[in-house]
Amino acid sequence: MPITSLALHNISRASLLQDSEATWSCRHSEERSNRHIKDCERASQQLKFEIRALNNRERERVVKLASLHDMESTSRALDEEEREIESAFLGSIRDEPSSAYAGGPQGSDARPHKSNFSSPSSVANVGTYFDNNIVFS
C-alpha cells in the first residue's frame, strides 16, 4: 500500500506534535525544577537567618549567665569579707579595755556621748562602736 501525501503529512504532523509535547514537557519540568531550586535556596537562606538569630540569643544567654555567675561570686566574696571584718571587729572589741569608749555606758550599750560628735577637738576620743549590728566609725 503506497503512502500518500496525506498520510505522510499526518505522520509528520504527529511526529511534530510529539516533539512539541516532549519539548513542552521538558520545559515544564525544567521550570518546575528551577522553581524548586529557588524555593530551596529561599528556605536555606531562611534557615541561615534563623540559625544566626539562635546563635545570637545563645550568645546573649551565655553572657547573661556569666554575668550572673560573676555577680554571685562577687556577692559570696563580699559576704565572706563582711563576715571576716565583723569577726575581727567583734574580736577587737573583746580585746579592748572598757576605757576605750569615751565615757559612755559599758558593755553592749557602749557608745560615745553625742557631745563627742559636736566638738572637733573631741573627734580623736571617738572610738568605733556598733548599734544593732551596724558598724559606725
Q: Is residue 102 part of a domain?
A: no
- pLDDT tens series, the chain, 137 aa: 566 776 667 777 777 777 777 777 888 888 999 999 999 999 999 999 999 999 999 999 988 888 888 898 899 999 999 999 988 888 777 766 555 455 555 555 555 544 444 444 444 444 555 555 555 54
- 44 and 77 share one domain: yes
Q: Which residue, among 105, 104, 99, has the nearest Cα to 115 in the 3D structure? A: 104
Q: Is residue 25 part of a domain?
A: yes
Number of domains in the chain: 2
Q: Is residue 136 part of a domain?
A: yes
Per DSSP, the three-state class of 106 is coil
Expressed as residue numbers, the domain containing 130 is: 110-137
Per DSSP, the three-state class of 104 is coil
Task: Provide the 10 A C-beta neighbour count for residue 116.
Answer: 19
Q: Is residue 26 part of a domain?
A: yes
Q: Is residue 90 part of a domain?
A: yes
- 84 and 115 share one domain: no
Q: Is residue 100 part of a domain?
A: no
